[in-house]
Amino acid sequence: MATETMNIAGMRALLERGEVTAVQLAEDALSAIAADTVNGAYLTVCREEALAQAAAADALRRDGKAGALTGIPFAMKDNICTKGVRTTCASKMLENWIPVYDACVTERLKAAGAVMLGKTNMDEFAMGSSSESSALGLTRNPAAPDYVPGGSSGGSAAAVAANECAFAIGSDTGGSIRQPASFCGVVGMKPTYGTVSRYGLVAYASSFDQIGPITKTVADNAEVLTAISCHDRRDSTSLPEFDTDYSKLIGQDLKGMRIGLPKEYFGEGIHKDVAALVKQAAAKLEAAGAVIEECSLPAVNYALPAYYVLCCAEASSNLARFDGIRYGFRAEGIEDLEGLYRKTRTQGFGREVRRRILLGNYVLSAGYYDAYYKKAQQARTLLIRAFRDLYETYDMLLTPVAPTPAYKIGEKASDPMEMALGDICTVPVNLGGLPAISVPCGFSEAADGAKLPVGFQLIGPAFSEAKLYQAAAAYENAE
């Protein structure tokens, strides 16, 4: 079965040589998804639509009009709109909602000839770090089924890791692409804020959310990001001009590249295996020609509290649209408007979503706005300036993606504070609107013998994706 071992480049080579058709690739992937009774990566499988798209891709290839992703099967996170295919956000609130339009990313991938196999599971409304808050099912880590796949894009990372698609699309608000990519042993990129349109992405926190790719290899990742990046007038935060040739530096050596190793990312709470593997990755990059130096980013200590104040504030505003009147779930037996709002939101939203909405309303309320929201915005500015100052010396920074490897299902579900602390390495990137990539760098052995993947993170200044891919690919291809 071609989908068992092939990345995008491998599948494309088979298609170009005529050894397989796009329809065969899609059928192989759909069979793998149907046969999987463990991982639970998908919430919706689009068999008929996928086979129709695959047949159209084969026709394009026969006519000599095939592009880099034509006929390549992929999966879409279920908070990105797909016309005619339900988009649930893994929530009872939108369990049966079918969009009447495509997100910009969906449009771009359809135009590229890629074949959408289905929609992947996630934390409800992208609020979580383990995919356990999904109201519609449990996703397991393909590397170790008793462990979480990470979140919120856990289904997307699991689908790639389980060879149930060639690539997947996720969204990253505070690490939701990079952390599950690290936990599942695949490559995940959170691009510069504004390079991928958010049109059609169901909003969690609008100044943080960014769509990006999850793949098996660094080169694949660059190709997918090239396909989905664009200026989109329908998204007011979409950037008007930037270079989307993300593969242009892959294969070049790292001579003269300066990489900082912020000491704050290796302090208390970092698992010994994670710290050791990330430092081994640093040594490998140094052997490839990069200059590695320890540096300091003390402002990172403000990141986690600032992130949760600001994200919850934005979430409380964005999710106010779910009122039981216009679309989505509606509570029954309600006689007054206030009761409709209260019952619909209580029954339609899960516990984690309700918790974040309440926190957001609190920090925005009269008497608390200056004490919490304003100070969090000031802390965000300090962090942005601190990153800017470091990038005067370094081309990028190297850190862990998460302080620990994946943990067992249910281990942290009852302690939201402990789960939030797992975001400490990723949220600074979103506060700064910066690009960052997660790259697999080894395994940590758990007490029960499970081999848990670990990733390292490269963080660059805005629009440095090509350079990040250069360094990541040099690591990936090093002996």
Q: For residue 2, is pLDDT > 70?
A: no
How far apart are the two ends of the chain, measured CA to CA in Å?
Answer: 28
Q: Across the strands, what pairs with 194?
A: none
Catalytic residue (one of 176, 197, 238, 247) = 176
**CB under 8 Å to 201, separation ≥6 — which residues?**
79, 80, 81, 103, 105, 171, 209, 211
Tokens of residue 92, six digits: 């009872």
Tokens 């086979």 belong to 51
Q: What percent of the chain has pLDDT over 90?
A: 95
Span 150-165, pLDDT tens digits? 999 999 999 999 999 9
Q: How confident is the model at residue 5 (pLDDT cuts 50, 70, 90)?
A: low
Catalytic residue (one of 134, 152, 182, 238) = 152
Span 122-153, pLDDT tens digits? 999 999 999 999 999 999 999 999 999 999 99
Q: How confident is the model at residue 416 (pLDDT cuts 50, 70, 90)?
A: confident
Span 238-296, pLDDT tens digits? 999 899 999 999 999 999 999 999 999 999 899 999 999 999 999 999 999 999 999 99
CB 23 within 8 A of CB 183: no
Q: How confident is the model at residue 300 (pLDDT cuts 50, 70, 90)?
A: very high
Instruction: Report the candidate in 222, 269, 131 with the shortest Cα–Cα distance to residue 435.
Output: 222
Mean pLDDT within 328-347: 93
- Is 374 among the residues known to form the active site? no
Helix ranges restricted to H, 323-371: 337-348, 351-364
**CB under 8 Å to 362, separation ≥6 — which residues?**
368, 372
Q: Within the chain, how many helices (H) and strands (E) appear?
A: 15, 11
Tokens 């510069």 belong to 192
> 3-class DSSP state for residue 173?
coil
CB 274 within 8 A of CB 454: yes
Catalytic residue (one of 77, 216, 284, 467) = 77
Plot region of 89 (φ>0 → left; ψ -120 to 50 → alpha; else → beta):
left
CA dihedral 227, 231, 232, 237 (to 10 degrees): 120
- Is 414 among the residues known to form the active site? no
Strands (E), 70-140: 73-77, 115-120
Q: For residue 222, is pLDDT > 90?
A: yes
Q: How confident is the model at residue 424 (pLDDT cuts 50, 70, 90)?
A: very high
Q: What letter would DSSP give residue 248?
A: T
pLDDT of residue 415: 84
Q: What are the extents of the domains in the chain?
A: 2-228
pLDDT of residue 163: 96
Q: Is the preceding peptide bond at 152 cis, omega within 30 degrees of 0? A: yes
In order of 145, 156, 247, the CA distances from 226 in angstroms are 33, 19, 8
Distance in angstroms (rounded) separating the CA atoms of residues 232 and 239: 8
pLDDT of residue 152: 98
pLDDT of residue 3: 60
Q: What percent of the chain has pLDDT over 70?
A: 99
pLDDT of residue 244: 94
pLDDT of residue 419: 86
Q: For residue 1, is pLDDT > 80?
A: no
Entry field: residues in the chain = 479
User: Rg for the chain (alpha carbons), in Å?
Assistant: 21
Q: Domain 2-228 adopts which CATH fold?
A: Amidase signature (AS) enzymes (3.90.1300)
- Residue 363: exposure state from Cβ atoms within 10 A (0-12, 13-18, ≥19): buried
Mean pLDDT within 44-54: 98
Q: For residue 479, is pLDDT > 70?
A: no
pLDDT of residue 317: 96
- Is 229 among the residues known to form the active site? no
CB 79 within 8 A of CB 16: no
The predicted model scores a pTM of 0.97
Q: How confident is the model at residue 327 (pLDDT cuts 50, 70, 90)?
A: confident
Instruction: Report the candidate in 418, 411, 420 with the shortest Cα–Cα distance to residue 452.
Output: 411
